[in-house]
Amino acid sequence: MSDNPMMTSTLNADPAELAKFSELAHRWWDPESEFRPLHQINPLRLEWINQLVPIKDLKVLDVGCGGGILTDSMARKGAQATGIDLSSKALKVAQLHALEAQTPNVQYREISTEALAAEQPATFDVVTCMEMLEHVPEPESVVRACAALVKPGGWVFFSTLNRNPKSFLMAIVGAEYVLNLLPRGTHEYAKMIRPSELARFGRDAGLELQQTRGMGYNPFTRRYWLSHDTSVNYLFAMRKV
């Protein structure tokens, strides 16, 4: 992050959101912590990505990587993985885990998506941006930057939360207040993004939608699965034209 306060003020990041995840950073790799859902859905996301585009030996970027759960797993699949985030604490956790686990071909940087896009356009074969768009002031700017970062013909994967009454009930009331799957205040309804909106952001940035998936959850078995129901959590696979 720049030391220049004028540059810092233009970052597409919410200080409150950064502080929220920084406070929990030390618990990122505890599978029984607040990040349990991320640990549980990560194999599903990774396999879906790898089925569409085998990532072995590819150059991949994980935007909003946090503590590195997805970044680390992509590196272990054989990708040359880079994770970026604006939370210093989360990145330190990611770097420490990579050292302890001796994860090959992984690096982390504290830089915004937009700044990296200006620095390294059309550099990556695959860009992932998971559970991040609903936490930034201008999600469309992140989508544009992701499109700029990927090579022509490359893939960009997004996952986020739909904005509708069902999603409010399940992702906020249910997950945060009833089931306590996530810390209260993790998500704000107004920041959720409809699939039609994300599709438009992608089209405007030169990305074509290839595949959509939803994420299901059974609170009794505590099991997640990929589905075709995008009414709450959903994933987009897009390709740069």
pLDDT in tens, 89-123: 999 999 999 999 999 999 999 999 999 999 999 99
Instruction: Evaluate if residue 164 carries a pLDDT over 80.
Output: yes
> Residue 158: enclosing H or E segment and its boundaries?
strand 150-161
Of 34-43, 110-119, 127-136, give the lowest mean pLDDT range.
34-43
Structure tokens at 235: 């994933």
| CA–CA dist 81, 70 (Å, integer) | 10
pLDDT of res. 18? 67
Residue span of the structural domain in which 112 resides: 5-240
pLDDT of res. 5? 30
pLDDT category, 127, cuts 50, 70, 90? Answer: very high
Of 59-68, 141-150, 158-167, 214-223, give the lowest mean pLDDT range.
214-223
Tens-digit pLDDT profile for residues 179-207: 677 667 677 778 899 999 999 999 999 99
| Residue bearing tokens 């956790």 | 93
pLDDT of res. 1? 35
What average pLDDT score do residues 77-89 get? 96
Instruction: Give the distance from CA 78 to its chain's centroid.
Output: 19
| CA–CA dist 90, 68 (Å, integer) | 8
Domain holding 67: CATH number? 3.40.50.150
Which one is predicted more confidently, 68 or 20? 68
Share of the chain above pLDDT 90, in %: 70
> Residue 146: enclosing H or E segment and its boundaries?
helix 139-149
Q: Average model confidence (pLDDT) for the chain?
A: 89
Which of 116, 119, 202 lies closest to 158, judged by CA? 202
| CA–CA dist 24, 185 (Å, integer) | 13
pLDDT of res. 37? 86
Q: What Rg do the C-alpha atoms of the chain give, in angstroms?
A: 17
Q: How many folded domains does the chain comprise?
A: 1
| CA–CA dist 114, 120 (Å, integer) | 10
Share of the chain above pLDDT 70, in %: 88
Q: Interior CA angle at 24 toward 216 and 141, to 5°?
A: 65
Which of 126, 108, 20 lies closest to 64, judged by CA? 108
Which one is predicted more confidently, 222 or 100? 100
User: β-strands 233-240, 150-161: how paired?
Assistant: antiparallel
This prediction's pTM: 0.88
Instruction: Evaluate if residue 55 carries a pLDDT over 80.
Output: yes
pLDDT of res. 21? 67
pLDDT category, 174, cuts 50, 70, 90? Answer: low
Query: 6: how many CB neighbours lie within 10 A of its CB?
Result: 7
What average pLDDT score do residues 41-52 get? 97
Instruction: Evaluate if residue 9 carries a pLDDT over 50.
Output: no
What average pLDDT score do residues 50-62 get? 98
Contact at 8 Å (CB) between 97 and 125? no
Please count the residues of the chain.
241
| CA–CA dist 149, 165 (Å, integer) | 34
